[in-house]
A and B are shown apart, each in its own frame.
Chain A
């Protein structure tokens, strides 16, 4: 085999290997509905009638009665902020689940006082395994907290400037905001109970603030009544949407999207027919040549 041929085969083989790996390797990005691993939302996507959105343009024309779960790990454009504003004001329910992302940008735009504190909520006593999994045990009567006894959060934060009448879930009195992240309560740190879920009306719609988006991930849904909370959300909405357009895309995600697009193009009848013809021709070429030679 000539060196040129060898290098071409080697390059082609390696590219094929990388493409196959990128295609079959499960996506392990946070909060992705395609991600079946512990940090994905595949379980949410399969257990509930959730429609994932790759853009706010896919939001329903009539928002009344619908719910949008938004994990804002990327900044929103002014156009998107206005779309959200209209979505809620016209009767939609926005579940803004954030801990260390850009949730406050949305709250500021909506002109609300409430904020995500952005500091780590720890509970050294009422927790699941470690202080970074605080158990939420105080609930106020609300359609979203029906039959709730405890929720478990995962590296959460807390809400600030929310009204007492809007807070529907609070952490235990042993919890605190670990400002200096030394896992020990200091006198200047804010102690619990701290609000972690609030619900308030906004225009004709509602705004639900959840101080930890990890509540929805695959590995958290089976813990305590986390799934019950999601069930309560699903029970009180006509359609449930989850935004995927404000999650930081990884190269793997981009590669997969690119490959998926390529597959979609290839799967179109015209291209498939062309491919079939090409393969048939390539396969039969040696036989055709041999016959031609025989005739000679």
Chain B
């Protein structure tokens, strides 16, 4: 009954303690993320085919740059090895096709524009290029179709087990490919139409009275009407001059010898329009222009006439022949010497020389680093410039550009050098104790310096486990900080102290050092040293008690009510002495055979319990002898004389029994 009750109560206690504790291990609902190590996935074929379809659709709508950008992104997919070749090939072909179609589209538009502007020679060149693009595009498109077939086989699009979504995605890709083919056909037909127009236009004798055009989807793509040709002549004076000087530009604008007064002519220098001049009576034009400070040895001058307003329906555009203008200027030479390594906020020198003429004219010097202006000054001939980089510049490789700005007839020059921005290493002299007794306040003394001298006002942060303390360095770089190490449950061992140093100087980098210290927790260690032997003693005593209780019932002998564990030091004589002597004789034999020693802290009964476990065959004799010995030791009554004989006899029996040899 008691046992059953114990079991029921045990279960109730366990349930009461453990079940509420389960909530302690229950975690809040997981935030939406998963372990990347256990995540598995494969190439999303449906999405890939759908997106190829979208990209090709973009291209078929002539959104080539968007299609190319999306294709470039697709190259960043993690492709399984088995599909890598075919997908790479497909991407390459798509890219080639989009570039070719884009080029073809652009060149056909340009050609149409050229034909409209009567630039027949340029139009012819473009049409030849377009021919090549059309051929290339047709070849690439065929290759792309083959690659698409290979892709379908690799993805198993037509396998019976494949999903309908994959088949649908492939169908959509096929539809986009058809649209692309249509676009190519349109462009090829447009090219043919432009060829035809070009041919017709060159064969027309009377260029005043005709009108031809191409329509695309109901809108006029190109329209050429019979227009009057125009011509422009050009003279410049002088043909050689310094930059910044003025030249005169003049010429004649005519159409079939008829001067075109009142029209505007544009003057272009190296393809840049720099002035517009009004044509005078008689068709002549004349004007002065300033040669820009371009510091080039030659420039091409040309004038153009673009009909405006009602003239656009009457006259063709024209361009004068190109005339070369020879320009002069004073070149500038820059000699430069810069350090290879510099530090944030620490001044450094740039030596050099600016050579532009014999007089060493003053020139403006600009220093930049990665597009950030560092300094600007005026120098004359040799110079020595002290500059410093901003304090927030991050370390690494930087470019330093020294520019002599152009000035009137003097050309500018720029030199770029690579410099390394570094931080000066810190030298730390830190005294940490090798041995720490917990709990204790530990003082850390140290000094921080660099090749620039002591580091003052640096922030020192000492961290030991969860404890940290901060300090600042004095003007000589020294610091003292105290860390209060608390008492805890640790015994002894190695521990790490982290010291983070953050200097205020931008040229010195933050540094973190770790030091190992050996600690001893005397309180806890002492406590353990005390507790462990005590626990061992308690354990042993309990063990012995258990052994006593485990003596077989049949062998149990009634002992006196109280027996002290200590053997009396008083010397016994007579019967008592003989009994004790017999007991000792037996004891010696048993100790020799069992190896169990009768130490002072063991009582006679404990010894009896210990050895009878090992020698069960002498249990009865030894129990009897032990009782006699105890009586002799502790009883006030003198035993009868025969007791001593019996004791000696028992000792003999024990001896015989033990030496019997079986």
Residues on A lying within 8 angstroms of B by beta carbon are 3, 6-7, 10-11, 14-15, 18, 21-22, 25, 28-31, 38-39, 49, 73, 99-101, 120, 124-133, 135, 137, 150, 152, 154-155, 172-174, 184-185, 212-214, 217, 219-220, 223, 235, 238, 248-252, 254-255, 263, 266-269, 272-273, 275-276, 279-280, 283-284, 286-287, 294
Of the candidates B47, B78, B537, the one having the most CB atoms from chain A within 10 angstroms of its own CB is B47
Kindly identify which residue among B25, B35, B73, B78 contacts A172, using a CB–CB cutoff of 8 Å.
B73
14 further A-B contacts with Cβ under 8 Å, apart from A3-B6, A174-B70, are A7-B10, A14-B14, A25-B25, A29-B27, A31-B31, A49-B512, A124-B47, A128-B36, A129-B39, A132-B34, A154-B34, A250-B26, A250-B27, A286-B537
On chain B, the residues within 8 Å of A276 by CB distance are 523-524, 526-527, 530
On chain A, the residues within 8 Å of B538 by CB distance are 283, 286
Kindly identify which residue among B21, B33, B40, B512 contacts A129, using a CB–CB cutoff of 8 Å.
B40
Would B33 and A30 count as touching, CB distance under 8 A? yes
Would B530 and A279 count as touching, CB distance under 8 A? yes
Report the Cα distance A185→B47, complex, angstroms: 9
B30 sits at the interface (CB 8 A): yes
Given contacts A125-B74, A129-B40, A150-B76, contact A251 B48 (CB under 8 A): no
On chain A, the residues within 8 Å of B292 by CB distance are none
Given contacts A125-B74, A263-B489, contact A38 B44 (CB under 8 A): no
On chain A, the residues within 8 Å of B14 by CB distance are 10, 14
Would B534 and A283 count as touching, CB distance under 8 A? yes
Given contacts A39-B33, A124-B44, A130-B39, contact A3 B2 (CB under 8 A): yes
On chain A, the residues within 8 Å of B30 by CB distance are 30, 39
Q: Which residue of A lies closest to B37 (CB)?
A: A219
On chain A, the residues within 8 Å of B338 by CB distance are none
B636 sits at the interface (CB 8 A): no
Would A174 and B73 count as touching, CB distance under 8 A? yes
On chain A, the residues within 8 Å of B6 by CB distance are 3, 6-7
Quick one: CB contact mask for B71-85 with A, threshold 8 Å, 1 for yes? 001101110000000
Report the Cα distance A283→B526, complex, angstroms: 13
On chain A, the residues within 8 Å of B69 by CB distance are 173
Report the Cα distance A269→B437, complex, angstroms: 13
Kindly identify which residue among A14, A214, A254, A269 contacts B33, using a CB–CB cutoff of 8 Å.
A214
On chain A, the residues within 8 Å of B534 by CB distance are 283-284
Would A131 and B487 count as touching, CB distance under 8 A? no
Q: Which residue of A lies closest to B22 (CB)?
A: A251
List which B51-92 residues lie within 8 A (CB) of chain A: 51, 69-70, 73-74, 76-78
Shortest distance between the CB of A193 and any CB in chain B (Å): 9
Report the Cα distance A135→B78, complex, angstroms: 10
Q: Which residue of A lies closest to B16 (CB)?
A: A11
Report the Cα distance A149→B80, complex, angstroms: 21
On chain A, the residues within 8 Å of B51 by CB distance are 125, 174
Shortest distance between the CB of B3 and any CB in chain A (Å): 9
26 residue pairs from A and B, CB less than 8 Å apart: A7-B9, A10-B10, A14-B14, A18-B21, A22-B21, A31-B31, A100-B32, A125-B47, A125-B51, A128-B36, A128-B78, A137-B73, A172-B76, A185-B47, A214-B33, A235-B394, A250-B26, A251-B24, A252-B26, A267-B487, A267-B489, A269-B487, A272-B523, A283-B535, A286-B541, A294-B564
B245 sits at the interface (CB 8 A): no
Shortest distance between the CB of B112 and any CB in chain A (Å): 32
On chain B, the residues within 8 Å of A223 by CB distance are 36
B339 sits at the interface (CB 8 A): no
Report the Cα distance A127→B34, complex, angstroms: 14
On chain A, the residues within 8 Å of B541 by CB distance are 286
On chain A, the residues within 8 Å of B2 by CB distance are 3
Report the Cα distance A250→B25, complex, angstroms: 8
Would A99 and B27 count as touching, CB distance under 8 A? no
B531 sits at the interface (CB 8 A): yes
Number of residues from B at the complex interface, CB < 8 A: 63
On chain A, the residues within 8 Å of B640 by CB distance are none
Would B566 and A154 count as touching, CB distance under 8 A? no
Would B32 and A155 count as touching, CB distance under 8 A? yes
Given contacts A125-B47, A126-B76, contact A252 B24 (CB under 8 A): yes
On chain A, the residues within 8 Å of B39 by CB distance are 129-130, 132-133
Of the candidates B14, B24, B74, B502, the one having the most CB atoms from chain A within 10 angstroms of its own CB is B24
Would A126 and B523 count as touching, CB distance under 8 A? no
Report the Cα distance A152→B9, complex, angstroms: 55
Would B26 and A173 count as touching, CB distance under 8 A? no
Would B44 and A125 count as touching, CB distance under 8 A? yes
B595 sits at the interface (CB 8 A): no
Would B10 and A125 count as touching, CB distance under 8 A? no
Quick one: CB contact mask for B1-27 with A, threshold 8 Å, 1 for yes? 010011001100110011001011111
Would A173 and B73 count as touching, CB distance under 8 A? yes
Report the Cα distance A33→B488, complex, angstroms: 22
Kindly identify which residue among B18, B27, B439 contacts A18, using a CB–CB cutoff of 8 Å.
B18
Report the Cα distance A38→B39, complex, angstroms: 12
Quick one: CB contact mask for B102-135 with A, threshold 8 Å, 1 for yes? 0000000000000000000000000000000000
Report the Cα distance A289→B255, complex, angstroms: 137
Report the Cα distance A101→B486, complex, angstroms: 39
Kindly identify which residue among B5, B23, B26, B41 contacts A3, using a CB–CB cutoff of 8 Å.
B5
Shortest distance between the CB of B561 and any CB in chain A (Å): 13
On chain B, the residues within 8 Å of A214 by CB distance are 31, 33
B28 sits at the interface (CB 8 A): yes
Shortest distance between the CB of A41 and any CB in chain B (Å): 12
Report the Cα distance A10→B13, complex, angstroms: 8
Given contacts A3-B2, A267-B489, A269-B439, contact A125 B48 (CB under 8 A): yes
Q: Which residue of A lies closest to B512 (CB)?
A: A49
Would B31 and A73 count as touching, CB distance under 8 A? yes
Shortest distance between the CB of B484 and any CB in chain A (Å): 11
Report the Cα distance A25→B74, complex, angstroms: 44
Report the Cα distance A132→B35, complex, angstroms: 11
